[in-house]
């Protein structure tokens, strides 16, 4: 047996390459010097059925609508009577208040706009620090919440109605905005649209907080059409101008009282037409026309198709089947813009069922799934170095801190955006830190290597790899994965290991990192 540690790059080639795109596995064998020449090596995958896994359709749905399948979550799915029953139960009980106060460890997140601004101006705490707290709490909620579907859909809508947390002084309203989106995440799109577009955070982000009848700011009026509802190609420039005119009157007293109000004298009056919507708009108080206009957009067939398209791209495939979009748009309109019936139809569609492993985990999901499936326990933070204060930074190191995408269109959800070599290398580095328990190192509990051994008596290494694959990937091991793990551990697949074996005392991080760096981990 060679004494030189194998490179992780070689081991990953054996596993099929660790790019997020999930390149097909190679058939490369172990180096000749790594095994005795007198013994032929069989890389027949082991089988350890006592470690149960969800069947492929269940793994597929739960992976798409959670942040990593833990043994506890798998048991919950089975106890519910299957993945569809679990999903329906999550939809029915998602916003019942039971997950509201999870990891509520950052007191600044409960301060109002005036207090936050005053503390920033007084040098007590900067707005960017408050938003960092918000990012950490967002990640911790996703990591720990029993309402996984709620957190997933909150992320979806915060991305659709994107308000960047690092936008200038948005921090005074961004926490409240996120809570509002969460409360509407599984309700009616009409209600969500009304609440988001007129929220102070959105008004500030897109320049409508100071829009007046004399000088209507067109940013929000345009993005409302282009990004939030009907999409490009369904409106013209005059529609944008009238959209902006309708929205005038909604104001925020910036840098003073921070009060959000409606100011009738700032509302533009006169006939308006946006696509098929017409109104005489004669009343100086334009709130009624605004509500009617937003409801018109929410119920527009083009909006139905746009929402259906975005849901399919996020949860089914980058290649959006037009037939599925048509069916989901019809469900949306038939149910008065309610989201839950659309989601139920989506996960029961043949297109969804045939899209197993077709999506790639982004940086958020990578970090969260790693914490969850490794069983890393995060405790209440004590210092800046505590895990709960580092998880957001860890995500940023892979490619993008959540909620910070600078443009109003929300961060990309397509595979290509998260399949670069630099992302793969950043993920490998993160996984290596985590399996070694190196970072974060405060207010966190990492599982001990020997705790992964499923039973006291010795077992073949190939069966241990299968156990790991089932625990971490929710699927039996493959020949390619076994080869890679043998290379990483410098061990034969038929070697018998126990809790006292060198596998657990010397090379365990290499084995676990090889599993996490395999293509199957990046797939969801």
Q: What is the pLDDT of residues 43-87, one digit of tens each?
A: 999 999 999 999 999 999 999 999 999 999 999 999 999 999 999
Write down the pLDDT at residue 456.
72
Radius of gyration of the chain (CA): 26
Which residue ranges make up each domain of the chain? 1-51+363-399+420-524, 94-186
239-253 burial string, b = 16+ CB within 10 Å, else e? bbbbbbbbbbbbbbe
First-to-final CA distance of the chain:
37
Write down the pLDDT at residue 455.
80
Read off φ and ψ for residue 203, nearest 5 degrees. Answer: -60, -40
| pLDDT of residue 375 exceeding 60 | yes
Q: Comparing 9 with 27, which gets the higher pLDDT?
A: 9
**Residue 376 tokens, joined:** 């890393």
Angle between helix axes 508-516 and 461-473 (nearest 10 degrees) is: 50
pLDDT tens digits, one per residue of 419-471: 999 999 999 999 999 999 999 999 999 999 999 998 878 999 999 999 999 99
Q: Is 492 left (phi over 0), alpha (psi -120 to 50) or beta?
A: beta
Write down the pLDDT at residue 488.
97
CA-based angle 187:189:194, to the nearest 5?
Answer: 110
Output the pTM of the full model.
0.92
Measure the CA–CA gap between 212 and 292, rounded to whole angstroms.
20
Write down the pLDDT at residue 39.
65
Label residue 503 exposed, middle or buried (CB < 10 Å: 0-12, 13-18, 19+): buried
pLDDT tens digits, one per residue of 176-199: 999 999 999 999 999 999 999 999
């Amino acid at each position: 047996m060679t004494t030189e540690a194998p490179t992780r790059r070689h081991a990953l080639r054996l596993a099929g390459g660790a790019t997020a795109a999930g390149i097909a596995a190679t058939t490369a064998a172990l180096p000749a010097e790594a095994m005795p020449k007198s013994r032929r090596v069989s890389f027949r995958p082991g089988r350890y059925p006592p470690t149960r896994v969800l069947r492929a359709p269940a793994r597929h749905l739960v992976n798409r609508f959670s942040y990593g399948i833990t043994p506890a979550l798998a048991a919950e799915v089975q106890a519910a009577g299957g993945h569809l029953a679990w999903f329906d139960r999550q939809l029915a009980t998602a916003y019942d208040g039971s997950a509201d106060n999870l990891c509520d460890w950052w007191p600044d997140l409960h301060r109002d706009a005036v207090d936050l601004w005053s503390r920033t101006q007084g040098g007590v705490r900067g707005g960017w620090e408050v938003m960092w707290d918000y990012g950490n709490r967002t990640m911790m909620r996703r990591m720990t919440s029993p309402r996984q579907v709620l957190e997933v859909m909150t992320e979806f809508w915060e991305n659709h109605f994107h308000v960047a947390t690092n936008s200038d002084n948005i921090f005074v309203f961004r926490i409240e905005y996120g809570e509002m989106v969460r409360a509407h995440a599984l309700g009616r799109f009409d209600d969500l649209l009304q609440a988001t577009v007129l929220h102070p955070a959105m008004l500030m982000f897109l320049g409508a907080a100071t829009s007046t009848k004399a000088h209507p700011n067109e940013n929000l009026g345009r993005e409302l059409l282009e990004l939030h509802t009907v999409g490009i190609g369904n409106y013209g420039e005059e529609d944008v101008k009238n959209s902006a005119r309708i929205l005038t009157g909604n104001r925020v007293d910036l840098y003073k009282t921070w009060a959000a109000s409606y100011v009738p004298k700032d509302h533009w009056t006169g006939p308006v037409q946006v696509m098929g919507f017409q109104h005489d708009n004669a009343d100086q108080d334009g709130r009624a026309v605004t509500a009617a206009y937003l409801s018109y957009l929410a119920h527009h067939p083009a909006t139905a198709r746009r929402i259906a398209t975005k849901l399919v791209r996020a949860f089914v495939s980058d290649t959006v089947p037009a037939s599925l979009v048509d069916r989901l748009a019809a469900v949306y309109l038939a149910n008065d813009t309610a989201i839950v019936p659309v989601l139920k139809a989506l996960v029961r569609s043949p297109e969804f069922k045939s899209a197993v492993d077709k999506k790639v985990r982004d940086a958020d999901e990578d970090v969260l799934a790693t914490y969850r499936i490794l069983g890393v326990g995060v405790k209440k933070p004590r210092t800046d170095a505590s895990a709960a204060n580092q998880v957001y930074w860890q995500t940023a190191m892979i490619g993008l801190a959540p909620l910070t995408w600078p443009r109003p269109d929300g961060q990309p959800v397509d595979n290509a955006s998260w399949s670069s070599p630099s992302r793969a290398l950043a993920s490998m580095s993160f996984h290596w830190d985590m399996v070694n328990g190196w970072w974060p190192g405060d207010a966190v509990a990492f599982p001990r290597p020997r705790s992964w051994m499923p039973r006291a008596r010795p077992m073949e290494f190939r069966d241990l790899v299968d156990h790991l694959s089932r625990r971490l990937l929710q699927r039996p091991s493959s020949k390619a994965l076994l080869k890679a793990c043998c290379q990483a551990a410098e061990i034969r697949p038929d070697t018998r290991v126990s809790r006292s074996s060198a596998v657990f005392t010397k090379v365990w991080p290499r084995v676990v990192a090889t599993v996490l760096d395999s293509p199957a981990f990046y797939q969801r």
